[in-house]
Amino acid sequence: MKLTELFLGILTAVGGFVDVSELVFMSQAGSRFGYALIWVVVLSTVGIMVFGEMSGRVAAIAKQPVFNLMRNRLGLRLGLITLIASFVSNLITCAAEIGGVALVLQLLTGAPMRLMAVAATAAFIATVWFLPFKWIERTYGLLGLFMLVFGAALVAIHPPWGQIAGGMVPQVPRGLSTRDMIAFAYFAVALLSAVMFPYETYFYSSGGIEDEWGPKDLGINKLTTIVGFSLGSLLAIALLASAAQLFGPAGISPEMVGTVALQAGVPFGKIGILLALLGMLFAIGGAAIETCLANAYSLGQFFGWRWGRHRPPREAPRFTLSWMAIFVVALVIVLTGVEPVELAEYAVVASILVLPLTYLPLLLLAGDRAYMRVHANGLLSKTLGWGFYVLIVVAALAALPLFLLTSGGQL
């Protein structure tokens, strides 16, 4: 195992952890409920570690990506329903990310948002066409580390560390009205969904196959998912905690992507805002590419096409046409004028509905000794896997009613 590879892998996971939905929901949750939802972020991070590690292990040992598995284990009917649902959820997420990037570019340049959305999409298409897979992942992941300014900003505003630590203990704040209680439950489900977005698993396992992982890479897989996702999660917690400290007492609800950047502006002034916007640009940009490729991977794997960015674009033509078309359709959604934050809200609800169907075949195959041999799920993976599976099923059942009852958290 090369140390540099491991280091870069972990940094990439950190830089790529946060996307537009997390930015928005972490800040809104912090502003509205203080530190009381930090435990949901911690719990969801353990969940994405468990399923991320599992999907990487299945890619390395059984050499099967998620949608191959899904087709094989769920069959055509249920597999097709999952494909369509996850395609729609990823497409909305991709549009939200493109819209988020366009808003950040608008703040940086002053140019119209729609023009920036077109420019960003053209840049993403060029990136995916010309750059090898590893460099796509690393460029956006590493430049996304500008987001660390949010961590530094939290330290600089001297938050109540005791209360932040207290937020890691599962709790429901006392004295909430019924209305606030429903909103609290909605934010809990939304944060779970934003951290455990299904595209992350599709992209991660497909990446493992692109990089030709084998048994020797299981260590990198474990460390990347545990260390990388933990550090990424700390960044997300920093966003939530500084929103709790700065926005909550002032009664500000960060409805705009740009408002989030102010969290770094308070302690560090203009340079803080600039670093925050650059970090957001690359973190959200990376997520736009990941969601788009995750959709193209899903199609390629479900229908058995040649797929992957390790091949030149013309050697996987249906896959290449797919990701190009997905970018264009996502751009069209943004150009209709729907707010990126609104899209992010739809995306988290759509995603949580897909999660149970995504993770079931993964759990089944990762535990199958015929395929995974000695690398099949052990007692810990099995217990955590099924425990989180029950949790996401409950969250999926609650998501839509909560979304409707709270009008997307506006209640």
Partner 1 sequence: MKASGSLKLVAGVRDLQIVDCEECNCGIVDDIELKGKPGGPLKVAALVVGPGGYSARLPGWAMWIVDRVAGRSAVKVPWDKVENVTSVVHLNVTAKEAGLARAEARARRLLPGRG
Contacting residues toward partner 1, per CB under 8 A: 62-64, 68, 71-72, 75-77, 79-80, 300, 302-307, 313-314, 317-318, 320-321, 371
Residue 154 amino acid letter: L
Q: Which is nearer to partner 1, 184 or 323 (CB)?
A: 323
**DSSP string across 29-49:** HHHHHTTTTHHHHHHHHHHHH
CB of 71 to partner 1, least distance (A): 5
Q: Which is nearer to partner 1, 39 or 371 (CB)?
A: 371
Q: Which is nearer to partner 1, 304 or 401 (CB)?
A: 304
Calpha distance 50→61 (Å, rounded): 16
CB of 324 to partner 1, least distance (A): 8
CB of 51 to partner 1, least distance (A): 21
CB of 67 to partner 1, least distance (A): 10
Q: Which is nearer to partner 1, 16 or 300 (CB)?
A: 300
CB of 133 to partner 1, least distance (A): 17
Specify whether the CB–CB gap between 375 and 57 falls below 8 A. yes
Specify whether the CB–CB gap between 317 and 53 falls below 8 A. no
Specify whether the CB–CB gap between 237 and 243 falls below 8 A. no
Calpha distance 58→53 (Å, rounded): 9
What are the tokens at 256? 């705009």
Q: Which is nearer to partner 1, 55 or 406 (CB)?
A: 55
Radius of gyration from C-alpha coordinates of the chain: 20
Q: Which is nearer to partner 1, 268 or 371 (CB)?
A: 371
Dihedral angle computed from the Cα positions of residues 235, 12, 351 and 72, in that order, rounded to the nearest 10 degrees: -150
> Inter-axis angle of helices 257-303 and 66-109, to 10 degrees?
150
Calpha distance 198→48 (Å, rounded): 9
Count of residues making up the chain: 411
Q: Which is nearer to partner 1, 268 or 305 (CB)?
A: 305
CB of 122 to partner 1, least distance (A): 14
What are the tokens at 189? 């489900």
How many of the other CB atoms lie within 10 Å of CB of 84?
11
CB of 76 to partner 1, least distance (A): 5
